[in-house]
Amino acid sequence: MNIKKSVSFMNEDGSDSDDNATIDIGEYIISEEDKECEIYTSVMNIFLMYYKNLYKKDNGYTLFDDIDFDSKTSTNGALELFYCEIHNYKTCEEKHKILYKLEEYKNAFPEQNNMTLYEITINNNIRITHSLIAGILYISEFDWMIGKWAINKISR
């Protein structure tokens, strides 16, 4: 891809510089830090979409709505659930982070248990996991902004 972009630079005092540079976007290398930040942003956005659907929030709802910013201890349901799910992911056994095909899941967990399950569907491809965050990470590997995907919390 040979896209040229003109970029303006600022002087140290904040004024516009007269110097312009042309950048070939095709030669731009995304740093590992930028890639990692993109993953975190995707995880947060996918979680928020799941939360809004689950709790029937409007499309403009953000992770920071319903917080009383005058109170140092104020939080909201979305952030509390996000924290809980991250904690669960970080503390659960590795086998609970795996996304299984349905038959694989039945073989791996033949016993009945009361653990929460999530059905992750991407383009009619279904996986089962105990970890919402593991499911969200799986979705983030795909073109989730335009692809068809769903997260369903199911009981066993």
Q: Helix H segments across the chain?
A: 32-54, 77-91, 102-108, 132-140
Can you count the helices (H) and strands (E) in the chain? 4, 5
Domain boundaries defined on the chain:
31-154
Residue-by-residue pLDDT tens, the chain, 156 positions:
444 444 455 556 666 655 555 556 667 677 788 777 788 899 999 999 999 999 999 999 999 999 999 999 999 999 999 999 999 999 999 999 999 998 898 888 887 677 889 999 999 899 999 999 999 999 999 989 888 999 999 865
Q: Report the DSSP beta bridge partners of residue 121.
A: 126, 150
pTM for this predicted structure: 0.75
Residues 6 or more apart from 25 whose CB is under 8 A from it?
1, 3, 4, 5
b/e string for 8-24 if b means 16 or more Cβ within 10 A?
Answer: eeeeeeeeeeeeeeeee
Cα distance between residue 14 and residue 101, in whole Å = 55
Residues 149, 135 contacting (CB under 8 angstroms):
no
